[in-house]
Structure 1
Amino acid sequence: MQQQSRLADSAEGSLPVFVFPTELVFYADEQASHKQVLTLYNPYEFALKFKVLCTAPSKYAVVDATGAVKPQCCVDIVIRHRDVRPCHYGVMDKFRLQVSEQSQRKALGRKEVMATLLPSASQEATQPRSQEEEHRMKEQFADSVFFEQAAYQTESRVASGGPSLLAILLGLGCVAALLLPTLGELDSIVPVYLHLSVNKKLVAAYVLGLLTMVILRP
């Protein structure tokens, strides 16, 4: 019953959809880049089905354009560019991922991903990312998933019965995160392991803003 209530609330609004990366870039002179992978995450407690749409379907081949994602799992969606020609350089196409509950047809949420074909990658772009940079990007994305999921669940509960203890605790946690020193500050008595990156503080500020609007709205 509680799950059905949560799904009903989601159908009225927009269920956050977590996809990585959020932009696809293909390079004409790099055969390996003609194949890209989108990872769709399902952090929720119920299964989702998905569908991939495109504004230029003749230019791309999408492997498994429809499917399902188990609770708290992820799936990889392979996208291949099959029409690499100079006339398509710089043209921005759009992919839309729609998700819904398995027994429903109405989309609960959607996410758009831009795709661009470029003639060649710049020297910086062609250099492989270091393992440290890859780890940092995944960590930042995981933080965003966690905070946005918590904000969405809190908003659903607040809308059904006023501010909950979870909303108050989450708000206090965001305030505390904003008060902590930023990573890189040397003149601070706070231990280094408590210093937060700018990205984490931005996410905390975003979630705090959502909570404030939800709690204060009539």
Structure 2
Amino acid sequence: MDISSFIQNICIYALPVLFAITLHEAAHAYAARHFGDPTAYLMGRMTLNPIKHIDPLGTIALPLLCLLLPGSFLFGWAKPVPVNFGDLRNPKKDMRWVALAGPAANLIMMLLWTVVLGLLLHAAEGDFAYPLRQMAQAGVQINIVLMILNLIPIPPLDGGRVLISLLPVNAARQVARIEPYGMIVLLVLMFTKVLFFIMAPFMGVFYLLVNNILRLFA
């Protein structure tokens, strides 16, 4: 990839990525406070300021590497929102709603970017129409990937938290022990491309939904 194409990709993806990670983490923080844990709120993480949620490796370095590598899909993460599950009013039950808040935010953003894309499909051609369509397409893609990625049932991903909340206590403790190694497992799955094959069928379902919505704008 030449430098001009790389810079163009950064310009297209930067805003959708920042929106995706910021609202995802802010949703976790809001849900945690709603269910009784103010930790994230008190630490200033219940905010739409993206700087508060940026992880240098997961939010900057890894996505840039993905844009550089041919054939890879955009991958990354934000700084996790601190949640003291013991402070939740019903820790085992409320944990799943706090975990699901982030992917739910990505689902809503995916739908909003789809509507924006639909409106732009018939916009008059001009200096901004094409790059804005590309940005909307990037917004759809990023939020689908981030939502599905986070729902994989490996701690500390949101899907892992949901799994722990649904399992009996003893089984939940066994799954929770995976958490220190969860990101290593995820990176291995990514670089061996196994992660893509796990996510691809679910991504296909949501792309089908997006295409059906876009038909309404035809």
- TM-score under structure 1 length normalisation: 0.27
Structure with more helix by fraction = 2
Max radius of gyration: which structure?
A: 1
Structure with more strand by fraction = 1
